[in-house]
Amino acid sequence: MSSVIVTADQNGRVIVPAGTDFGYIRVQQSTTKFTERGFAVMTTVSALIFAKLDVLRSFGWKDSQEIEGKIVIKESLTPFNTKDPDKDLKVAGKSNIPCTKNGRKIYRRAVYTTDMSAVDTLIAHDNYIPRDFDLVESEEVTPEQVAMQLDFTALPDFGEEN
């Protein structure tokens, strides 16, 4: 597990104001994840730490500073943001298709924590999402060609085939 790093925005600001009293600091962490098929994949995740500006200033953090803690992924069937529920939707890659579980949307957020025992809380989606969604967007490709290129082995088992 690598360190969490404080990052500045494109203007060099570590603390980014969001309104008159509040703001955020962006942190990131590079980690190695292991897939179910046994592959190691390097990923970088980032999280925003929101607080009142005076609280953020009290940290005294600088750009590229290493801080104690980790970033975990939290997924939920309940929106994190009740004013803008679709803000944290879990979507499938570049397709922008929302992932669902039993017909309910899945919400995803990266969170910084100092609890080193914290783990990702993930929800596997059960809706079918074509892997080559971009093919559908092309006018030059027929529906038959799209169907031939889709991986139907990835369909979830709903128990209806028997």
d(CA 1, CA 99): 28
- Per-residue model confidence (pLDDT) at position 93: 77
Q: What amino acid is encoded at 39 in this protein?
A: F
User: Residue 55: is its pLDDT beyond 90?
Assistant: yes
Mean pLDDT, rounded, of the chain? 82
Residue entry with tokens 């997924």 = 75
Query: Is this model's pTM higher than 0.85 or not?
Result: no
- Per DSSP, the three-state class of 47 is strand
d(CA 5, CA 26): 9
Residue 38 belongs to domain spanning: 1-68
Determine, yes or no, domain membership for 12. yes
- Total structural domains in the chain? 1
Determine, yes or no, domain membership for 3. yes
Determine, yes or no, domain membership for 138. no
